Chain A
Amino acid sequence: MSYSGSERILLNSQREGQVSRFSPWVLLLVPLAAILFQVYVPLFFQFLGYLEMPLLVVVYFALMRRNQIGGLLIGTIVGLAQDSLSKAPLGMFGIVKTLVGYFAASVGVRLDVDNGLMRLFLAYFFYVFHQFFYWVMARALLAQQVAFELQRTLILGLLNAIVAVALFHFLDKLRETG
C-alpha cells in the first residue's frame, strides 16, 4: 500500500465519517413533518409559531450532507412548499431557503458540525440570515413596507437555535451508520 493510497484512504475515510447519509424516507418525511408542524401546531400552541422548523430542517440536512447542490435543492423544495402554504408568492421562501441550504452545506464542509456549540451558532446565524434576507426580498421584490425588528429577530434566533440543538440531536438518530 502506497503512501498516497493510504493518504487518500484517510482522506476518504475522514470525509466518509463526516458526511451523513439519510434514508430517502427520512429526507422526505422529516421536511414534510417540519412543514406540517409549521402549519398545524400553532393552531393549538400559538407560541410555537415562532419556531421556524422548516428552516432548521434545511440547515440540518445541508450541514450534515455537506453537499451544496443537495443543500440548495432541499432548501428550494422546502421553501417552495412553505410558499405554497402561505399567502406569499411562490419563490420568496424558496429563494431564501435555497441560499440557506447552499451556504449551510458550504459551511458544513469546512466546520465540525457535530459540535453542539457550533450547531447553536450556525442555527442562530442562518435564522437571522433567513429573516433578514426574506425582509430584503419582501422590500425589494414585492415592495412590501415591512419593518425589520432586529431585537425580536435576535431573540427568536436564540430560541430557534436552542431548539435546533435539540432537534439536530434527535435527527442524528436517523442517520444511517456505516
Chain B
Amino acid sequence: MESFLNRYRNITVLLLVIFAQLVLLAVQVRNDQDVRMIRVWTVTAVTPLARVMEFLRGGSIGFVRDYILLHDTHEENRRLQSELDKLRVENNFLKNELNMAERAKALAVFQEHTPSKTVAANIIGSGAGTNSKVVFTDRGSTSGVQRGMAVVTPDGIVGTIIESYPTASEVLLITDPDFAAGVISQKTQVRGTLKGQGTPLCRVDYVPFEEKVDVGDWFYTSGDDRVFPRGFPVGIVKAVHAGQPFKEILVEPSGMHRGLEDVLILLEGVHQTIPTEQLAFQPVYIAPAPPNAAPGPAEPAAPGGTEADKLRAHYKAVGDAQNHKFGEGLPGSKPPDFNLAVKPGQGPGASAEPGAGGQGPAAPAKPTQPPSGPAPKPATTAAAPANSSPAPGPRTPAPASTPGPKPPAPASNNPDPSQPPIPSGVPISERPHNE
C-alpha cells in the first residue's frame, strides 16, 4: 500500500486536493453559504498591497501627469517662442513696409504740391570714400537728371547731383566736406553759406558776428547758388558760437531725418517763399480792446530788432513827419530835423516799408490790433506768437488771421498773405503748399 502511494503519490495528492475543493464547493453550493474565512485571509493579504499600490499610483500619477504636462509645456513654449520669433520678423517687415509707404506717401504729396518739376529716385548705393558722403540714385540721364541738379526730400535738401550716368546718378550729400549751398535764416533773413563737415552737423559760414542767429532757428535755401531753389528747408541751428568776423553756426540737416531711401531730384527748380517767423502751433487768444481805447494806430510795441533797426525806424518816422524822403534830395539840401519829437501815431511801425533793408523780414505797414470797440467774439490767431502784442514792432509778424482789419502782407517774400504761415519743424509733406 505504501509503495502504491509512493508510486502514485503525485496523482494521489492531486486527487486529494481536487476532492477537497470539490467538497468545499459542494458545501458552499449545498448550504448556500460562503466559506468566509478563506476569503478574509485572501482579502487581508491582498488589500494592503492594493492600498499601497493605490497610494503609489495616486502619488505618482500627479508627478507623471505634471511631468507630461511640463514636457508638453516645454514643447508648447518652444513652439510659441518660434511663433513669436516669426511674428517679430513679420512685424519688423510690416513696420518697414509701413515706414516705406509713409515715406512714399510723403514724397508723393510733396512732389504733387511743390511747384518744381521733380523726379523720384531711390538711393541704391553709397560711395566708397571714407570721408565722402556720396550716394547713388537709380535715376540717371535717361530720366533727365543732369549734373548740378538739386536732390531734396519733403523734409529738406539732401545734396546735389555731381555725376549723371545713363541709369544712375551720384549725389553729393550736404554733409560732405565739399558741399556748399547758399542759405538764409528764417527768422532774421541772415544769409550764409552752408558747408558740410563730414559729420552729421553742417556749418553755416560767412554770417557776420553782429547778425542775430539763435539756436533753434531754421535755415532755408536762399537760391543764390543757382542749384537749390529758394525756400527749401535746410536744417535747424543746433549751436551758435561767437566769432570774428563771422559766427560759427552748426546746423542739423533736416532732409535726412527719416533715413535716406527715397529722394526727389529737382529737374526744374522753382523758387518758393520762405515761411515766415516760426509760429506757435496752438492758437493764441487775443482779448478784445478796452472799451475806451481810441481807435487808431496802437502804440508801438517794444521793438524786437537790432539797435540799427530801431534807429532806422526812428529816422524813417522823422522823415515821414517832415515829408522828407531819404535819398531823394540833392547833396547839400536841407536835412530833416532829427530832434523833432515823433508822435506815437507816426511811430516807425506805422510807416516802415515792408521788406525794407533787404534781408530783414517785412514789417507790417500797420500794426495789427483787434477791432475797435468790443468784439463780438474773442479773436484767435492760427499761429501767432504767444507773446505778441496787438501792436507788433517792426519784426513782429502779423497774425495769420484776425478779425477786423486785415493785416498787411507780412513780407515781400511772402506774396500770398492768405496762406497761413508754416511752423518750422513740420515736414513739408504735412504743411500746406502753394498750389
Tell me the residues in window 13-71 of chain A with beta carbons closer than 8 Å to chain B beta carbons: 32-33, 35-36, 39-40, 44, 68-69
Tell me the residues in window 59-85 of chain A with beta carbons closer than 8 Å to chain B beta carbons: 68-69, 72-73, 76, 80-81, 83-85
Question: A residues within 8 A CB of B42?
Answer: 80-81, 84-85
Q: Is B128 engaged at the interface, CB distance under 8 Å to the other chain?
A: no
Q: Tell me, rounded to whole Å, the shortest Cβ–Cβ distance linking B284 to chain A.
A: 82
Tell me the residues in window 31-67 of chain B with beta carbons closer than 8 Å to chain A beta carbons: 34-35, 38-39, 41-43, 45-46, 49-50, 53-54, 57
User: Closest B-chain residue to A94, C-beta based?
Assistant: B21
Majority secondary structure of chain B interface residues (helix, strand, loop or mixed):
helix
Cβ contact of B46, chosen from A85, A98, A142, cutoff 8 A: A85
Most chain A CB within 10 A, of B25, B49, B54, is at B25
B49 to A84, Cβ gap below 8 A?
no
Q: Is B14 engaged at the interface, CB distance under 8 Å to the other chain?
A: yes
Q: How far apart are the CA atoms of A33 and B13 in the complex, in Å?
A: 27
Question: A residues within 8 A CB of B43?
Answer: 84-85
B28 to A36, Cβ gap below 8 A?
no
Question: B residues within 8 A CB of A33?
Answer: 49
Count, chain B residues at interface, CB 8 A: 27
Q: Is B9 engaged at the interface, CB distance under 8 Å to the other chain?
A: yes
Q: Provided the pairs A32-B45, A39-B50 are in contact, do residues A68 and B14 lie with their beta carbons within 8 angstroms?
A: yes
Q: How far apart are the CA atoms of A24 and B334 in the complex, in Å?
A: 146
User: Closest B-chain residue to A89, C-beta based?
Assistant: B28
Q: Tell me, rounded to whole Å, the shortest Cβ–Cβ distance linking B54 to chain A.
A: 8
Tell me the residues in window 137-156 of chain A with beta carbons closer than 8 Å to chain B beta carbons: 141-142
Q: Is B17 engaged at the interface, CB distance under 8 Å to the other chain?
A: yes
Question: B residues within 8 A CB of A76?
Answer: 17, 21
User: Closest A-chain residue to B61, C-beta based?
Assistant: A44
Q: Is A123 engaged at the interface, CB distance under 8 Å to the other chain?
A: no
Q: Provided the pairs A40-B50, A40-B53, A94-B21 are in contact, do residues A84 and B38 lie with their beta carbons within 8 angstroms?
A: yes
Q: How far apart are the CA atoms of A142 and B22 in the complex, in Å?
A: 11
Q: Tell me, rounded to whole Å, the shortest Cβ–Cβ distance linking B170 to chain A.
A: 80
Q: How far apart are the CA atoms of A98 and B18 in the complex, in Å?
A: 7
Q: How far apart are the CA atoms of A95 and B18 in the complex, in Å?
A: 6
Q: Is A99 engaged at the interface, CB distance under 8 Å to the other chain?
A: yes
User: Closest B-chain residue to A143, C-beta based?
Assistant: B29
B25 to A36, Cβ gap below 8 A?
no
Q: Is B339 engaged at the interface, CB distance under 8 Å to the other chain?
A: no
Question: B residues within 8 A CB of A91?
Answer: 21-22, 24-25, 28
User: Closest A-chain residue to B40, C-beta based?
Assistant: A84
B21 to A98, Cβ gap below 8 A?
yes
Q: Is A163 engaged at the interface, CB distance under 8 Å to the other chain?
A: no
Q: Tell me, rounded to whole Å, the shortest Cβ–Cβ distance linking A145 to chain B.
A: 16
* Chain B interfacial positions (CB closer than 8 Å to A): 9-10, 13-14, 17-18, 21-22, 24-26, 28-29, 34-35, 38-39, 41-43, 45-46, 49-50, 53-54, 57
Q: Pick the 5 closest A-B CB pairs, nearest first.
A: A84-B42, A91-B25, A91-B21, A68-B10, A84-B39
* Chain A interfacial positions (CB closer than 8 Å to B): 32-33, 35-36, 39-40, 44, 68-69, 72-73, 76, 80-81, 83-85, 89-92, 94-95, 98-99, 102, 141-142
